[in-house]
Structure 1
Amino acid sequence: MVHSSNLLLVVNLRAAEHLADIETRLLAAHPALTITDRRLVLRMSKVNGHLLDDEGRTRGVVPVDPWSPGGV
């Protein structure tokens, strides 16, 4: 896909307030950068291959292979 917005960044934050700090640091390091959109997921059901229960604890693991055709 070719588009003027051509970078996707996924980060894990301990608190939603940390998003502004990440954006500030990125913009300071890369002045030509333009942030066109952002999405904040407050609760993830899978984190880096870990299957989580309702309390957020790991209950299983799915090996992640980002280079496989399906990503897993």
Structure 2
Amino acid sequence: KVVAFCDVNEKKIGTKHHDQVTRINIPIIHFRDAVPPIVCCVSMGRTDGELEANVRSLNLVHGVNFWHFI
């Protein structure tokens, strides 16, 4: 179950994503506030290393508490 979306864009943080099919509002939180397990769907190589640095800052381990899909 998805409990939140993470972002680094301050304009999105604190807002909600509304799913029109399920009619559920999902909060958008700062990545630092995310609680594992985390599934990431961001293209690697498009963040100038910021995504990788953010993952390292949270001490996440791919395949243990963090999964990245391209």
**TM-score when scaled to structure 1?**
0.32
Q: Would you tell me which structure has more strand in proportion to its own residues? A: 2
Larger radius of gyration: 1
**TM-score when scaled to structure 2?**
0.32
